[in-house]
Amino acid sequence: MKEILAIVRLNRMNQTKRALAEAGLPSVTAKDCLGRGKGLVDLQLLKGAERGYEEAISQLGQSQRLIPKRLLILVVRDDLVEKAVHTLIRVNQTGKPGDGMIFVMPCLEAYRVRTEEYGDIVLDEG
């Protein structure tokens, strides 16, 4: 059993949810978050740089602004990790910086609170 943490664009959430449901992995937890990557993008600076202001261009790459993203948390069976990751990449990939990251981490146990079942049976079928 693995935990997948995916950080994606806000405006891709609907497509992501639909694609995951079609892939048989409808269960997901989502959370608003802010973040930055190695790209260091500041939208105002970018706009200024596009218009050719010298000051904005000189400050590119120094901003520390955090950008709103959506954090998705999925717990899936070991054999479905590849399917989930490929679905997420296919839907969210635009090729530009800011598409986000996916992290795969081990998860030891999963329980269903309603029935006290545990193990792979509480997870999505795929």
Q: Which of 24, 26, 35, 119 is the binder for another protein (CB under 8 A)? A: 35
Inter-residue contact 106 to 40 (CB < 8 Å): no
Q: Residue 67 corresponds to which tokens in the numbers above?
A: 């950008």
Q: Which of residues 103-122 bind another protein (CB under 8 A)?
A: 103-106
Q: In whole angstroms, what separates CA 26 from the centre of its chain?
A: 15
102 touching another protein, by CB under 8 A: yes
Cβ proximity to another protein: between 34 and 46 the closer is 34
> What is the C-alpha to C-alpha distance for residues 55 and 69, in angstroms, rounded to an integer?
28
CB of 115 to another protein, least distance (A): 28
Q: Which of 33, 43, 46, 121 is the binder for another protein (CB under 8 A)? A: 33
Q: Residue 107 corresponds to which tokens in the numbers above?
A: 């998860």
In the shown chain, the binding pattern of residues 71 to 100 toward another protein, with x for contact by CB under 8 A and - for none, equals x-------------xxxxxx-xxxxxxxxx
Give the contacts of 52 (CB within 8 A, at least 6 positions apart): none
CB of 32 to another protein, least distance (A): 8
